[in-house]
Amino acid sequence: MTHDHQAEAETRIRSAMQQLLAGSVPDGLKCDVKSLCTLAGVPRATLYRTYPHLKAEFDRQRTAAQEAGQHPDPRLAQIERLKAEVATLRERLSRKNTELDALKEFQVTALSRLAAQHNEIIRLRMDLESTPQAEVRVFPTR
C-alpha cells in the first residue's frame, strides 16, 4: 500500500467510525467492526493488520458510549427499552393476577354468605308459619 492509499483508507475508517458512533447505522449493519469495515470499504484483515490502533480506538469509544448510557446502535437501545417495558408489564400482570385472585376469593365468600342468609330467611319463615300464635307481623313477600 502506498502512503496516499493508506492515508485515504485511514480517513475512510475514521469517517465510518464517526458515523457509527454518532448513531447513524445503515439498515442491515450494526455498530461493530464488521460494519465499520463494510462502511469504510476496507477488508477486516487489513483493519486488523494495518490499522489495529483504529480498531482499538473504535472499541474503546463504543464501550465508553455504552457505559455512559448512550447506544450508538439505535436497535440496541430499542432492545433495552423493550426489555425494560416487558419487565414492567410482567410486574403489572403479576399484581393484576394477585388482585384478581383476591376478588375471586371475595366473590366466593360473598356468594356463600348470601346463600347462608337466604337459607336463614327461609328457615325463619317456616318457623313462623309453623307457630300458630306468633306475635310476629308477617310482611308480604315480593
| Per-residue pLDDT at 6 exceeds 70 | yes
> By percentage, how much of the chain surpasses pLDDT 70?
93
Q: What is the pLDDT of residue 26?
A: 80
* Residue 37: closest CA among 63, 59, 62, 55: 55
Tell me the mean pLDDT in the region 91-114: 98
In single-letter form, the type of residue at position 135 comes to E
> By percentage, how much of the chain surpasses pLDDT 90?
42
User: pLDDT band at 11, cuts 50/70/90?
Assistant: very high
Rounded Cα–Cα distance for residues 9 and 22 (Å): 20
Selected residue with higher pLDDT from 36 and 118? 118
| Per-residue pLDDT at 77 exceeds 80 | no
Rounded Cα–Cα distance for residues 111 and 116 (Å): 9
Q: What is the pLDDT of residue 109?
A: 97
Residue 39 φ/ψ, nearest 5 degrees: -65, -40
| Per-residue pLDDT at 130 exceeds 90 | no
| Per-residue pLDDT at 22 exceeds 70 | yes
pTM exceeding the 0.85 threshold for the entire prediction: no
